Structure 1
Amino acid sequence: MASSSSDKNSILVVVAGRPYPLRVEAQEEGDVRALVKEINERFNDFQVKFSDRDTQDCLVMTLLTYADELRSARNLADTSLDGELAHRLKALDAIVEGML
């Protein structure tokens, strides 16, 4: 059953210093915010490690790191989509969908 728009919260997240409005399921808001925090931490690590690179380069390196992890996780995930891994993948998917 598809959830109605009333089940979604409008939130504003900041990734790499830029704000992005998202609509997320109410029960997933905390997970999305935690994932954004993790993304920003990884992005900041790349900025420190590669101070000669611009913001876009560091953001792409962050994206590629997550894409590789997502690909690996999908290869390992069972088809039932239960557990912590599936929950994190759904949160990441919500962020990506919100940015598109």
Structure 2
Amino acid sequence: MGEISIKINIADRVYPLKVNMEEEEIIRRAAKLINDRIKEYTENYAVRDKQDLLSMCVLHYATSTIKAEKRVTVEDTAVTEKVYQLDNLLTDFFSKK
């Protein structure tokens, strides 16, 4: 698939982008998440400066990303350990025959 031109609005600023067609929906959803988070911060905190709101969004999503990466690492380690245990059981089972 090819590239398309789209316009994304984030924090009341329009950004023209060229994106792969298969990424368009993801990018639009990401922009919506950012704008929804900015709206939430505007309603719940006494912050009105767009730069501060964007910084708070970046911090929120960076923290979420780090937490998700950590969870994946822990889960990968647990799966690796289970596979190792299963491999040992199978090796023991077939070596006794």
TM-score by length of 2: 0.65
Offset, 1:68? 0.8
**Unpaired segments ≥5 residues, structure 2:** 74-97
1:31 matched to 2:21: no
CA RMSD of aligned residues (A): 1.8
Counterpart of 1:13, as a letter, is: I
Partner of 1:51: helix, strand, or coil? Answer: coil
Offset, 1:52? 3.9
State the identity %. 34
Which residue is 1:22 aligned to? 17
Residues 52/39 of structure 1: CA separation in 2 closer, same or farther (3 Å cut): closer
TM-score by length of 1: 0.64
Counterpart of 2:2, as a letter, is: D
Partners of 2:2 and 2:49 lie apart in 1 by 38
Partner of 2:46: helix, strand, or coil? Answer: coil
Aligned 8 A contact 2:41 2:47 in 1: no
Q: Which has the higher helix share?
A: 2
Q: Kindly indicate whether structure 1 or structure 2 has the higher relative contact order, using CA contacts under 8 Å at least 6 residues apart.
A: 1
Which residue is 1:92 aligned to? none
Runs of 4+ residues deviating >6 angstroms: none
Counterpart of 1:26, as a letter, is: M
Partners of 2:18 and 2:41 lie apart in 1 by 28
State which structure, 1 or 2, has the greater radius of gyration over its C-alpha atoms: 2
The alignment of Structure 1 onto Structure 2 pairs a total of residues equal to 73
Offset, 1:69? 0.9
1:8 matched to 2:3: yes
Which residue is 1:42 aligned to? 37
